[in-house]
Amino acid sequence: MNIQFKKGVLEICVLSVLAHKDCYGYELVSEISKRIDISEGTIYPLLHRLKDDGYVTTYLQESQGGPPRKYYQLTENGRKEEHEQKDEWIQFVASVNALLEGKNYAAE
Amino acid sequence: MLQNEQEYIRILRSRLEGTLPTDELEDIISDYSEHFTMGKENGRTDGELWSSLGSPEDVARELRVMHLVKKAEDDRSCKNIFHAVVATLGLGLFNLVFVLVPFILLVVMLLMIFVIGVLFTVFGPAAFVYSILQLAGLSAFAIWLSPVAGLFISTGITTSGLLMIIGDYYLARFFYRVGIRYLKWNIGVITGTECAA
């Protein structure tokens, strides 16, 4: 699939995964790259940007037998942003699908 | 070239040093080295992890641009916006057309308005003084049909010159803000490398 498409939706994907649960980097990246074929390296810069923008914070948590892991968590702003982007996305996809399937023309 | 964790981190570090502040740099390095550690715990090899991450050069380029645009946003200056634009150009040919061209046009336009504004504010008062000399019968030749009209016209020129300079300042601020938003959108959409795996 077109790289621009993927890049554009990556942010909403990251926000959505984090809305379900806090994740450490590797977990989040695997979750997303399982479904979307994108270079995993681009997710970390995105996380970094989301942190800069105040949508995401991090905290360290001990793991069994390993060094502490850095967990990513949505902030209150991040939750709001996730809701908004999700609504926009759903509407957008519905409109595009309607166009692709030619429903609008059929109705006339 | 050996494609292992140490090499990846080394390249990333060397490309980002000097641009990113140390704490941010370490934060990022820790993300990538954690990724390698976790990946290997899950049975993936250095080579696999390298190619699924994408080249460290690309990752570093993206992080650099992001940082420079953020910096230009937080601390507005000609130098910072210039650095941000130049870094964005490195992301691809597309940006030569869609970032560099509009940027140059804007800078030229803002400069032109400024220069014209300055010329007006210099010429206006000069013409005003000349009109007074003319009224007093001291000037050799007339630049206005009537020296009284000259007083009004030169006042108008001075005022519009000043307005142009002030307006130019606000215009520049406006375009700076819009420009940053555009660059942010641009790096969100344009950057990224196709998955090698």
Give pLDDT tens digits for B163-193.
Answer: 999 999 999 999 999 999 999 888 877 654 4
* pLDDT for residue B197: 31
Cα B69 from Cα A44, distance rounded (Å) = 17
Phi, psi for B42 (deg, rounded to 5): -90, 15
Lowest mean pLDDT among A59-68, B72-81, B121-130, B165-174: A59-68
Assess A48–B contact: CB distance below 8 Å, yes or no. yes
Query: Which residues of B fall below an 8 Å CB-CB distance to A?
Result: 24, 27-28, 30-32, 34-35, 37-39, 41, 52-56, 58-59, 62-63, 66, 70, 188-196
**Is the Cβ–Cβ distance between A52 and A77 less than 8 Å?**
no
pLDDT, average across residues B53-80 = 91
Place of tokens 């060094």: A67
Span A22-34, pLDDT tens digits: 999 999 999 998 8
Cβ distance B193 to A41 less than 8 Å, yes or no, reads yes
Cα B84 from Cα A6, distance rounded (Å) = 24
**Is the Cβ–Cβ distance between B152 and B128 less than 8 Å?**
no
Instruction: Answer yes or no: is B65 within a domain.
Output: no
Amino acid type, B114: F
Give this complex's ipTM.
Answer: 0.80
State the nearest Cα–Cα gap between B118 and chain A, in angstroms. 40
Phi, psi for B143 (deg, rounded to 5): -95, -20
Neighbouring residues of A18: CB distance < 8 A, sequence distance ≥ 6: A28, A56, A72, A73, A74, A78, A82
Ranges of H-type helices in A21-75: 25-35, 43-52
Instruction: Answer yes or no: is B18 within a domain.
Output: no
Partners of residue A49 in chain B, C-beta under 8 Å: 66, 70
What is the tally of structural domains in chain B? 1
State the nearest Cα–Cα gap between A105 and chain B, in angstroms. 31
Q: Is the pLDDT of residue B194 over 90?
A: no
Show the tokens assigned to B172: 């520049």
Cα B197 from Cα A39, distance rounded (Å) = 8
- Closest by Cα among B159, B147, B163 to B123: B159
Quick check: helix, strand or coil at residue A60?
strand
State the nearest Cα–Cα gap between A54 and chain B, in angstroms. 13
Give the chain A residue whose CA is nearest to the CA of B41: A66
Instruction: Answer yes or no: is B62 within a domain.
Output: no
Give the chain B residue whose CA is nearest to the CA of A2: B194
Q: What is the mean pLDDT of chain A?
A: 86
What CATH code would you report for A3-107?
Answer: 1.10.10.10
In this complex, which of A25, A39, A47 lies closest to B54 when CB atoms are compared?
A39
Cα A11 from Cα A46, distance rounded (Å) = 7
Span B16-32, pLDDT tens digits: 999 999 998 999 999 99
If one compares B193 and B37, the residue with the highest pLDDT of the two is B37
Partners of residue A37 in chain B, C-beta under 8 Å: 195
Angstrom CA distances, B7 to A71, B36, B42, B155, stand at 25, 12, 20, 68
pLDDT band at B35 (very low <50, low <70, confident <90, very high): very high
pLDDT band at A10 (very low <50, low <70, confident <90, very high): confident
Supply the range of the domain harboring residue B140. 82-190
Q: Is A66 exposed, middle or buried (0-12, 13-18, 19+ CB in 10 A)?
A: exposed
Show the tokens assigned to A53: 């923008």
Partners of residue A48 in chain B, C-beta under 8 Å: 24, 27-28, 31, 63, 66
